Amino acid sequence: MTNDCKLRKGVKTGVMAMAIVFGAGLVMHALTNVGREEDRGKLRALGAAYEKALNKGDFTDLNNGLDANFTYTTILGNDIKSAAEFQAAYGAIRTVIGADKGGSYTVALTPGLGGANFYSTGGEDFAFIRGTSDETVVTAEADKAGKVTKKSNNFGSLWFATAHKDKNNGNWKLAHAYAMFSRNPFSDAQVKAFTAALQKASAPAPAATK
């Protein structure tokens, strides 16, 4: 067999392998993305409640939307495990960005193409969801004279989440979520400084001495 024939055979084999791998992936994607409109509606409502909580800074309504073993790994790498921890983290963020001086945080979530992929294991139903977010942080700082300076930073993230369906009532709950920068205007030093400031703002106040 000539080198040219070997090359053509190798290319053909490679193309067939790619077709099998990617074709199977597309078939599985199609199988897991048909029907289940009621479940999709509940997942969209859960996502909307999460977005609303982030923008309002009130996570009370998320209590019923989080799985008992819920974890969320933030962009900065720390884990949040309950609505109460969300509230505490948000309070620390408000302190660091100067919310009392006009600082703010807003986010818009966009689900990925295809919505959710459903799968079942051990008699339990799960959904894998992914998407992007567009986020804006406005920081506000006052100088010694009380003059406030504001700075707006826009960034984006990729997020991935797994939801678990409650067999008792059919409601979906977030089991795990993870986010990472997709558009990051901050330097490593800025991220490090912001993380340190959040840790300081989150630390419990020292006990009063008698």
The more confident residue out of 35 and 49 is: 49
What was the pLDDT predicted at 77? Answer: 82
Does a structural domain hold residue 5? no
pLDDT tens digits for range 158-194: 999 999 999 888 999 999 999 988 776 666 776 777 6
**23 lies in a domain?**
no
Is 90 part of a structural domain of the chain?
yes
Per mean pLDDT, which range of 16-25, 55-64, 104-113, 153-162 is the poorest? 16-25
Above pLDDT 90, what percent of the chain?
44
Q: Which amino acid is at 72?
A: Y
Range of the domain at 181: 33-202
Domain-embedded: residue 94: yes
Checking if the pLDDT of 205 tops 60, the result is no
Whether 114 is covered by a domain: the verdict is yes
Q: At 43, which CATH number?
A: 3.10.450.50
pLDDT for res 36: 86
Residue 18 inside a domain? The answer is no
Query: Domain for residue 1, yes or no?
Result: no
In this structure, is residue 24 part of a structural domain?
A: no
Q: State how many domains the chain has.
A: 1
Query: Would the pLDDT of 21 be above 50?
Result: no
pLDDT at 19: 40
Which residue type, as a one-letter code, is found at position 166? D
